[in-house]
Amino acid sequence: MTTTSTSRLTRYDRAMLRLMNRGEGRALYATAARRRGVVAVHVALTLALGGLLLYVYLAEEGQWWAVAPMAVLLLGWCVCTGVINSATRGLLELRERALDERQLAERTRVQARAHWTMTLLLLTVSVVLLVAGAVRGHAPTAYAAPVLIAVLVTHWLMPLWVAGLMAGDEPDDEPLRV
């Protein structure tokens, strides 16, 4: 739990603080390897959802059958999002006033690293699109909207993924026996 004074927190802040600090799913994110696994599954589910959306977008006819797998994938995606948020103790979801100084500093580090990662990703995508356009003699316009949507989603989720990867192990509740 944070050491933030609860006198200036709203009822919503206190409810979110309790929610983000629940311990029921701790086994899912107890180690760095498990947290990396959850982030990897979250990235994979995001890619799968994006792939299905791209398929529906580029299909000649309406491919409404893809809605059922998307709903199933979205359910798993939401669970993974919750696990990552729990692993980070709501680092990105809680308001500033609900975080202590250490958490605020950690949030700043996560956002800076996510910004840097996103900048490199945008640079890579831009170079690939420019090279593809130069090789073909024209820009791949059919993919412009899906690429922009993918970039937007990645930009939105990158801090969550980075926070999940940077989260530290929880201290043991039991004292060490010597």
Residue 176 lies in a domain: no
Residue 2 lies in a domain: no
Residue 145 lies in a domain: yes
pLDDT of residue 1: 47
Q: How distant is the alpha carbon of residue 17 from its chain centre?
A: 19
Task: Give the residue numbers spanning the domain of 95.
Answer: 10-166
Residue 62 lies in a domain: yes
Structurally, the chain folds into a number of domains equal to 1
Residue 178 lies in a domain: no
pLDDT tens for the chain, 178 residues long, are 445 555 688 999 899 888 888 888 888 888 999 999 999 999 999 999 999 988 887 777 777 788 899 999 999 999 999 999 999 988 888 999 998 999 999 999 999 999 999 888 888 887 887 787 778 777 666 667 777 788 888 888 999 999 988 888 776 665 545 4
Rounded Cα–Cα distance for residues 4 and 17 (Å): 10
pTM of the complete model: 0.76
Residue 154 lies in a domain: yes
